[in-house]
Structures are given as C-alpha cells and as structure tokens.
C-alpha cells in the first residue's frame, strides 16, 4: 500500500527497557511481545491498548540481563510505562523491568540508553551461607543457586 | 524517595542486592520491612556503610489478634526505626490506627480487611501512615486485581477526606519485583492517583525514618524537648 503522507504518519516514541531475570531464564522477543500485549490490555483495556499500540522492536537477552526497545504512540508513554510496570513475568518466568529512557527515534534510543552487549557473566563457585555453591556473577551482582532456587546477592554477601 | 522491601530470609534477594537494585532504580533508600515471624537480616549496619543508598531497619509486625500485635509493637518500638503493622484484618487495622507507636498500617484492604471514615480519622489523629499497596496492582490480574483496585479507591477517598498521612509501596519481595518511581507514578495515574501523590507517598518513608532516628537519638526527650549536648 502507498505510504501515507508525512503529516498523516503516526508519531512514535521509543522506550528503552532494561530486563533482568534469573540466569537460567530463556526469553525471546515473541514471548515479551505477548506479555506486553497482555499486560497492556489487562491494565488499560481494549481501547487504550489499541491507542498505545505497543510493539517490541529490538530485543536482546542473555544469562539474566537484557534490553528491548518498545515502540509506543506519542502521547501514550505514561500509560505504556504503567503497563510495563505490571509486566511481572514472561511465559511464567519472573522478570524485572525498568524503563531507562525514551527517544523519538530508534537510533537515538539505542545510542543514548543501550550500551552494546553486556559484559559476559562469570560462572564460579562461591561460599554463601556457609556452603559452597554455583553462582553466576556480573558487575558485582551474584545470583547463587541454592536448593530452593536462585538467590539474588552481591559481592558483599560472598 | 524510598521503597519498603523484603529481604532474605523473607524473600529470595539479600539486603545488599535489594539496596543495589534500589540505587539502580533511582531510589534514595530502602526500608527493610521483613515480617517479624520470618526473621531479619543481621548485616544492616555493614551494608548501609557500603552501598549508595540509605538503609533503614524496620519490621512488619504480623499478629493474629490485637493483643499479640500490641506486645510485638511494644517490643520492637525501641529496637527498630520503622514499625509497620501487617494489616488486612479488621481488628488489626483498628488496633494499628489507634496506636500512636505504630508508624505504618500496611495494606489495610488486603484479605478481608476493610477501612472506614472512623479509622481514617483515627489514623490522622495518631499520625499512623496508611499504606497504598501497589503490589497487587503490579502482580495480580483479572478479578482479584479488580477487587484490590476497588479497595485502593475506597481507601484513597477515605484518606483524602480525613487528610490522614500515607505511604506508597510496591512491596518488592525480590529485586525482580522492584519498579522505578516513574513507573509507579504512571501506574498511580492510571488507577486514579495524582503522580505527586505517589511521589509523596514514596518520600514519606524517608521522612518517617529521619523523624524516628531523631527520636531514637540520645538527646531526644519528647516533641519540642531535647537535652543540650554542650
């Protein structure tokens, strides 16, 4: 179909979103997109979720850390932030979500808020609560595997 | 702005991890609100010195009836900076708002809890902060979220009318459940609060901690009376 004239094209804002999970979580763009749609529709309803029209454009997630760029119609970033706050899991995997910034173009959003691939995690043995355990460490954050699942710790706890 | 959090052993994240996450998310501090029967971290002072945010030692007293709650509040009042009562039961809600030694009544509308204008006026008179709990708004969905939103709306109207003090918290049980202040403000606006209400409620934890630290200091005698240290 022919392109719309410039003044009729929708105006978008791009939200840079930081994603954090436990290190064994496996997320993909489709799962996140589905979760964004569900969260938006559940919180805002059909009409406002259609108006916000949130789409996950870029997605990257590896070993517990990731980021995404979520496109939203200009003027709807407030409700979009609220919907993202209510996104607490993707395919039953708990996720921590934080909007780190908004931009008017994808390029600006990537350059300003998303800094290249995150430094790889370091797998090591740590002593946590008086026992040797497997852990995944990155940038001072240490996720320790225990009998009851992962525990979120830092270098200060080891 | 401060967030009131649960830390290990009352959640899967340690105090240091919650403090670090709070710093990343733009908070000035955290209040530890572990349930009294779940245990508290023993490294609050150590962590406080080594992280970029303030760490406030608090407790969330959970009791079956008002007399047990009264004993626990009396026990912890002189030991902890912030004393929160785990609400959600009509008798406990009433006990909390009628007790000036209580700092915060947490999630009064949870479970079969309820609130009315008499309790709101008592909270205003006794300076007990009523918590607007955003945790179920963030983590629930469907009918249970609708019920909790209905409760929050009722609570907001009563607190507004009585001009009672309030706090706001998303009550994160782990570092993954943290939400940034701007997200909580946007969420608050979506469900009928002003964005400033949410920011005020988050900042109130910090004001409360500063006031109570002053009161627990050696020079404090009673409001308006303090020992001259010179």
Measured between its terminal Cα atoms, the distance across chain A in Å is: 59
Q: Which chain A positions have a beta carbon within 8 Å of B184's beta carbon?
A: 85
Q: What per-residue confidence (pLDDT) applies to B29?
A: 95
* pLDDT score of B61 more than 70: yes
Tens digits of residue pLDDT in B76-87: 998 999 999 999
Q: Provide the mean pLDDT of chain B.
A: 93
B180/A contact by beta carbon, under 8 A? yes
Q: What is the DSSP string of B9-35?
A: TSSSB-HHHHHHHHHHTT-SEEEE--B
Q: What is the spatial distance between Cα A96 and Cα A8, in angstroms, rounded to a whole number?
A: 36
Helix (H) or strand (E) holding A60: strand A55-62
Q: How far is A98 from chain B (nearest CA, A)?
A: 7
Size of interface A-B (CB pairs under 8 A): 92
> Which residues, listed in sequence order, are joined to residue A17 by a DSSP beta bridge?
A68, A99
Q: Which chain A positions have a beta carbon within 8 Å of B138's beta carbon?
A: 85-86, 88
In this prediction, residue B230 has a pLDDT band, given cuts at 50, 70 and 90, of low
B176, B180, B184 member nearest A95 (Cβ): B176
Q: What is the spatial distance between Cα A95 and Cα B176, in angstroms, rounded to a whole number?
A: 6
In this prediction, residue B42 has a pLDDT band, given cuts at 50, 70 and 90, of confident
Tens digits of residue pLDDT in A103-128: 999 999 999 998 766 677 888 888 98
Q: What is the spatial distance between Cα A31 and Cα A87, in angstroms, rounded to a whole number?
A: 12
Q: What is the spatial distance between Cα A127 and Cα A148, in angstroms, rounded to a whole number?
A: 16
Predicted TM-score (pTM) of the model is 0.93
Q: Which of the residue ranges A1-10, B125-134, B214-223 has the most confident prediction, judged by mean pLDDT?
A: B125-134
CB–CB contact B16 A42 (8 Å): no
Q: What is the spatial distance between Cα A52 and Cα A58, in angstroms, rounded to a whole number?
A: 18
Return the closest-CA partner of residue A16 out of A72, A93, A94: A72
Q: What per-residue confidence (pLDDT) applies to A62?
A: 87
Q: What per-residue confidence (pLDDT) applies to A117?
A: 61
In B, minimum Cα distance to A142 occurs at B17
Q: What per-residue confidence (pLDDT) applies to A119?
A: 72
**Which tokens belong to B212?**
């109570």
* pLDDT score of A99 more than 70: yes
In this prediction, residue B223 has a pLDDT band, given cuts at 50, 70 and 90, of confident
Q: What per-residue confidence (pLDDT) applies to B216?
A: 85
In this prediction, residue A35 has a pLDDT band, given cuts at 50, 70 and 90, of very high
Q: How far is A42 from chain B (nearest CA, A)?
A: 7
CB–CB contact B24 A95 (8 Å): no
Q: Which chain B positions have a beta carbon within 8 Å of A44's beta carbon?
A: 190
**Contacts with B49 (C-beta within 8 Å, 6 or more apart), sequence order:** none
Q: Span B101-130, mean pLDDT?
A: 94
* pLDDT score of B96 more than 80: yes
In Å, how far are A15, B10, B45, B225, B229 from B220, measured between CA atoms? Answer: 48, 33, 22, 7, 11
Q: Span B29-51, mean pLDDT?
A: 91
* pLDDT score of B144 more than 70: yes
CB–CB contact B174 A140 (8 Å): no
DSSP A104: S
Q: What angle do CA A150, B142, A152 make, to 5 degrees?
A: 15
CB B19 within 8 A of CB B51: yes
In this prediction, residue B175 has a pLDDT band, given cuts at 50, 70 and 90, of very high
**Which tokens belong to B180?**
């940034």
CB–CB contact A152 B175 (8 Å): yes
Q: Cis bond leading into B9, ω under 30°?
A: yes
Return residues 158-177 of B near A (CB < 8 Å). 174-177
CB–CB contact B145 A42 (8 Å): yes
Q: Span A54-76, mean pLDDT?
A: 93
Angle, helices B142-162/B117-126, rounded to nearest 10 degrees: 60
CB–CB contact A95 B14 (8 Å): no
In A, minimum Cα distance to B14 occurs at A153
B230/A contact by beta carbon, under 8 A? no
In Å, how far are B70, B90, B134, B153 from B119, measured between CA atoms? Answer: 17, 10, 21, 16
Which of B9, B49, B169, B187 to mutate against chain A (most A CBs within 10 Å)?
B187
- Is domain B2-217 given the CATH code 3.20.20.140 in the classification? yes
Q: What is the spatial distance between Cα B149 and Cα B154, in angstroms, rounded to a whole number?
A: 9
In B, minimum Cα distance to A89 occurs at B139
Q: What per-residue confidence (pLDDT) applies to B226?
A: 83
* Ordered domains of chain A (ranges, CATH): 11-113 (3.30.70.3250), 122-157 (no CATH)
**Which tokens belong to A123?**
């797998």
């Amino acid at each position: 179909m022919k392109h719309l004239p410039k003044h009729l094209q929708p105006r978008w804002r791009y939200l840079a979103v930081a994603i954090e999970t436990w290190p064994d979580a496996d997320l993909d763009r489709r799962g996140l997109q589905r979760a964004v749609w569900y969260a938006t529709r559940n919180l805002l309803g059909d009409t406002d979720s259609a108006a916000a029209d949130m789409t996950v454009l870029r997605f990257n997630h590896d070993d517990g850390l990731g980021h995404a760029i979520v496109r939203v119609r200009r003027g709807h970033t407030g409700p979009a932030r609220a919907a993202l706050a209510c996104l607490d899991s993707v395919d039953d995997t708990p996720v921590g979500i934080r909007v780190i910034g908004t931009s008017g173009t994808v390029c600006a959003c990537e350059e300003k808020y998303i800094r290249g691939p995150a430094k790889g995690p370091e797998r090591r043995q740590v002593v946590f609560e008086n026992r040797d355990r497997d852990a995944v460490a990155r940038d001072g954050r240490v996720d320790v595997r225990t009998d009851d699942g992962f525990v979120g710790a830092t270098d200060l706890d080891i | 702005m401060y967030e009131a959090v649960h830390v290990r052993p009352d959640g899967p994240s340690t105090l240091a991890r919650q403090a670090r996450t709070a710093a990343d998310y733009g908070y000035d501090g955290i209040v530890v609100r572990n349930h009294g029967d779940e245990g508290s971290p023993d490294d609050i002072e150590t962590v406080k010195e080594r992280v970029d945010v303030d760490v406030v030692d608090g407790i969330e007293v959970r009791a079956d009836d008002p007399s047990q709650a009264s004993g626990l509040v009396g026990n912890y009042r002189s030991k902890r900076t912030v004393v929160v009562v785990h609400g959600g039961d009509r008798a406990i809600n009433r006990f909390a708002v009628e007790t000036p030694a209580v700092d915060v009544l947490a999630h009064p509308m949870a479970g079969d809890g309820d609130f009315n204008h008499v309790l709101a006026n008592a909270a205003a008179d006794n300076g007990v902060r009523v918590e607007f709990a955003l945790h179920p708004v963030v983590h629930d969905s469907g009918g249970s979220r609708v019920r909790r939103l209905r409760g929050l709306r009722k609570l907001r109207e009563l607190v507004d009318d009585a001009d009672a003090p309030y706090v706001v918290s998303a009550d994160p049980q782990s570092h993954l459940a943290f939400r940034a202040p701007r997200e909580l403000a946007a969420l608050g606006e979506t469900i009928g609060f002003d964005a400033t209400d949410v920011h005020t409620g988050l900042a109130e934890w910090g004001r409360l901690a500063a006031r109570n630290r002053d009161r627990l200091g050696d020079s404090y005698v009673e409001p308006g009376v303090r020992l001259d240290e010179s």
